[in-house]
Amino acid sequence: MKGFLPRTLHPGLQVLMLLVLMVAGVCVGYSIIFGVAQTAFGLSLPEVSKVMTYPSAYPQGWGLLMMAQGVLLFSACAGGALALASSLGYGWAEYFNPRRLGAGWWLLAAAALIVIILPFMSSLIAWNAEVRFPSFLHNFEVWARASEDRAQGLTKYLTRFNSSTRFLVAVLVIAVVPAVGEELVFRGVIQRNLVRWFSPHVGVWLGAAIFSAIHMQFFGFVPRFVLGLVLGYLYLWSGNILVSIVAHFTQNAFQLLILYLTQRGQFGWGFDPDGNEALPWTLVVPSALLSAGLLYFLYRRMTAPAPPTQMLTLSHNGVDLHRH
């Protein structure tokens, strides 16, 4: 496969090219959104803007906003990352999967890790939500908290599941699309190139910081940064984007499932998935210890040298066994 960019393109220029392609993806996404809004929702362009600004005031608000979020995220993130790989002359699997998946259980272990680490993450969420900025950053803190409140209000609106259909749509838009799109961008392109540019650990940590900062939720920066580290090391050790995609999907989908069951009155553990309260320390401490142990186990297994393959050949002496 031949691309129009050299494969030796500097990592910094690859990230810059990714941003250009993501902007192009946003333009394509908005074209699709306006087209669907006109044909499927019967809205004019001025009406689309009003509905997306005040979705709760319109009957089409939830559906249009969900569709817009899914299309924009997929076209910008997944579209931009895949276009970059193609422009460099790589096949998608070749670029994003430097190694073949070592074993199917890696995916199950990555998903289990995300569930196990959730109680520990709740303590980080609770701590970060109460952070206070220095007095000279008071105005920034006021703006940041107001921005966070608006984002939380929008999230609560989109995750108000009055039917199973809404829940399934949310799983697609809030769990599947971000898992694929964001992992292709942040781990598959940004981390990959930062690792090439600097070193493996610097690449993972910088990639996690960018991943958290880009969400513009400063009172959730630390837990999202830690999640970025977990996803980053899973990708670094496994060399396969499917591992971090499955982990990212599990993070989003599991929380959506808890929220859905809570709203239906089928989850009675006294846990508010919309809140910032930490779970009891009797869950947080075992969660931290088990997560650390599982991470170490995955590190040892994923980075272990592949066992030699055996090949039988026939010769005049009989059957010879060769190891490779």
How does DSSP assign 139-158, residue by residue? HHHHHHHHHHHHHHHHHHHH
Which tokens belong to 115? 């569930």
Residue 313 pairs in a beta bridge with 320
Query: In the prediction, which pLDDT does 273 show?
Result: 61
Cα(first)–Cα(last) distance of the chain, in Å?
Answer: 29
Residue 138: predicted pLDDT: 86
pLDDT at 267: 64
* Cα angle value 247/253/255 (rounded, 5°): 105
Consecutive 10-residue averages of pLDDT for the chain (324 residues):
86 97 97 93 87 88 94 97 96 94 95 97 93 87 87 89 94 97 98 97 98 89 96 97 98 95 74 74 97 98 77 50 50
Q: Quick one: 308 exposed, middle or buried, by C-beta within 10 A (0-12, 13-18, 19+)?
A: exposed
Which tens digit of pLDDT belongs to each residue from 186-195?
999 999 999 9
SS3 216: coil
pLDDT at site 272: 61
**What is the distance between the alpha carbons of residues 5 and 193, in angstroms, rounded to a whole number?**
15
Q: What pLDDT score does 305 carry?
A: 84
3-state SS record for 258-318: HHHHHHCCCCCCCCCCCCCCCCCHHHHHHHHHHHHHHHHHHHHHHCCCCCCCEEEEEECCE
- Burial (CB < 10 A; 0-12, 13-18, 19+), residue 200, is middle
Q: What are 319's strand-pairing partners? A: 314
Question: Which helix (H) or strand (E) segment is 183 a member of?
Answer: none
What are the angstrom distances between the C-alpha of 15 and each of 19, 213, 304, 306?
A: 6, 16, 30, 31
**pLDDT tens by residue, 106-162:** 999 999 999 999 999 999 999 999 888 888 888 988 988 888 888 888 888 999 998
